[in-house]
Amino acid sequence: MRISTKLTLAISALALSVSLGAPHAGAQDMKKVVIGTEGAYPPFNTLEADGNLTGFDIDIAKALCEEMKAECTFVTQDWDGIIPALQAGKFDAIIASMSITPERMEKVDFTNKYYNTPPAIAVPKDSDITEATDEALSGKLLGAQSSTTFSNYAEAKLPSAELKLYPTTDEYKLDIESGRVDAVIDDVVVLDEWVKSDAGACCKILGTLSPDPEINGPGIGIAVRKGEDELRESFNKAIVALRENGKYKEINDKYFDFDVYGD
């Protein structure tokens, strides 16, 4: 059943009022938090054919909510509109592999990081591109998802390439598979997951890139509306708790063979 936008906003506003300062009727009452995610960024967040959300972001979000003793629900949102949707009250927090950057911090507040991985370049297996450098990519068509740190990185650090932007990662993957772009840039984990799959058998990871703190930020965080300090600190405490009690490692090891938290 399709729920109207007005009803969704009303539900989100109610969840926010309950979770951020409304007095509790009793000890059994739980905070309610609506979480926004993209659902199109495997292995971090994926909306499956059956309607279920899966991935590292989703499992971490659920574990954080359990640690916070909060009742959390999820809303999917296209990436380009995810910050405006948060600001409009469609949900209370974004857990969608969003990098903490100075530009975004002007619009939202962030928790501390909950993971940190570098960008990388992928190319077809028969590509004549041999290095992940601006010189090697000169004149080549480079695909990236729009409104991401990866597209920003390509613009700043790989200016000799011709950048082509896509609304989702699925679309750039289709284009490199069919030869319409020469290379793509994204998170190394996302690209690694893809090239190991049947769909990504066309391609290989060329190499990782050195993150730029001004572009990539200190890692991936949870975004909340400006001034929502109580919710932000609740998430921060829960992130620390998951790292200390072993739950983070349990989720990490389900998806990765290294510690995705980073340095």
**What pLDDT is attached to residue 13?**
41
Model pLDDT for residues 125-150, shown as the tens digit of each residue: 999 999 999 999 999 999 999 999 99
CB 120 within 8 A of CB 191: yes
Cis peptide before 43 (omega within 30 of 0): yes
What is the CATH class of 119-216?
Answer: alpha beta
> Quick one: what percent of the chain has pLDDT higher than 70?
89
Q: Residues 32-45: what's their mean pLDDT?
A: 97
**What pLDDT is attached to residue 21?**
40
Q: Residues 233-238: what's their mean pLDDT?
A: 98
Q: In 3-state terms, what secondary structure has residue 155?
A: helix
Q: How confident is the model at residue 54 (pLDDT cuts 50, 70, 90)?
A: very high
Q: pTM value?
A: 0.82
Of residues 8 and 242, the one with the higher pLDDT is 242
Q: Please check the confidence at residue 42 and state whether its pLDDT lies above 80.
A: yes
The whole-angstrom separation of Cα 217 and Cα 206 is: 23
Q: Please check the confidence at residue 24 and state whether its pLDDT lies above 80.
A: no
Model pLDDT for residues 177-228, shown as the tens digit of each residue: 999 999 999 999 999 999 999 989 999 999 999 999 999 999 999 999 999 9
Q: Please check the confidence at residue 118 and state whether its pLDDT lies above 70.
A: yes
Question: Domain 5-115+218-255 adopts which CATH fold?
Answer: D-Maltodextrin-Binding Protein; domain 2 (3.40.190)
The whole-angstrom separation of Cα 190 and Cα 204 is: 12
Of residues 199 and 263, the one with the higher pLDDT is 199
Instruction: Give the side-chain half-sphere CA count within 13 A for 88.
Output: 12
The whole-angstrom separation of Cα 96 and Cα 85 is: 13
The whole-angstrom separation of Cα 34 and Cα 106 is: 22
Q: What are the sequence ranges of the domains in the chain?
A: 5-115+218-255, 119-216
Q: How confident is the model at residue 29 (pLDDT cuts 50, 70, 90)?
A: low
Q: Please check the confidence at residue 106 and state whether its pLDDT lies above 80.
A: yes
Q: Please check the confidence at residue 248 and state whether its pLDDT lies above 70.
A: yes
